[in-house]
Amino acid sequence: AMIQKKHLLGNIGHKLGIGPTPKKRVISFYEKHDPEKITEVDGILSKYYGDYPKLVKRLERKYGDYGYFINWETDEAPMTLAFDQLWETRDMLATQFDRHAPAIVKTGARNMRHNFGFVYKKGYQLWKKQVWPVLQPYLGVPDAKAARKQKLQDKKEADKRKKEARGQRGRSAEFRDDDEM
């Protein structure tokens, strides 16, 4: 609550880029619904810094476009950004390689890609047809009946441990206060 609403820390936090922000989605949302507000996106994000769900709810309600911001956190998650940068770098290197590498080097690289792909396919076929059938009885998945039986047994043991942890006793005849006549 302290880092919301035009608060100094909210403005600084947004400008420093601390934490994930829905900036990409907000920009594309305004491109779709209200292009004049694209220039105000930074101000809007700093106003709602730390309370982005409130911003999302207000935008969806105002423009009637529900579900547009689903999973916005993954847009700027560190690994997503890293992979995006990695693919951009790969594309740039491929362009530079195609432009500047001698023909013989390009031919060698193409042959290596083909040969590694061929070896991978043959190795996968060998594994699938000859190696895995030998290892499957030792490492494979048990049949459905045995798996179901093991699952039920594990559930019973877990329930028993829960009861013991809570201190509940079972209903047995030796604890009953019935008078025998």
The predicted model scores a pTM of 0.39
Q: Which residue has the higher pLDDT, 132 or 21?
A: 132
* pLDDT digits 0-9 by tens, 132-178: 888 888 886 667 777 788 888 988 998 888 887 776 555 555 555 55
* pLDDT digits 0-9 by tens, 69-89: 887 777 766 677 778 889 999
Q: Give CA–CA dist 94/88, Å, rounded.
A: 10
- Written as one string, the DSSP assignment of 6-70 is T-HHHHHHHHHT-S---HHHHHHHHHHH-GGGGGGHHHHHHHTTT-HHHHHHHHHHHHT-TTTTT
- Written as one string, the DSSP assignment of 100-159 is HS-HHHHHHHHHHHHHHHHHHHHHHHHIIIIIHHHHHHHHSPPPHHHHHHHHHHHHHHHH
How many angstroms separate the most distant Cα atoms in the chain? 104
Going by pLDDT thresholds of 50, 70 and 90, the confidence category of residue 34 is confident
Q: How many CA atoms lie within 13 A of 102 on its CB side?
A: 3
* pLDDT digits 0-9 by tens, 91-109: 999 999 999 999 999 999 9
Residue 159, Cα to own-chain centre: how many angstroms? 32
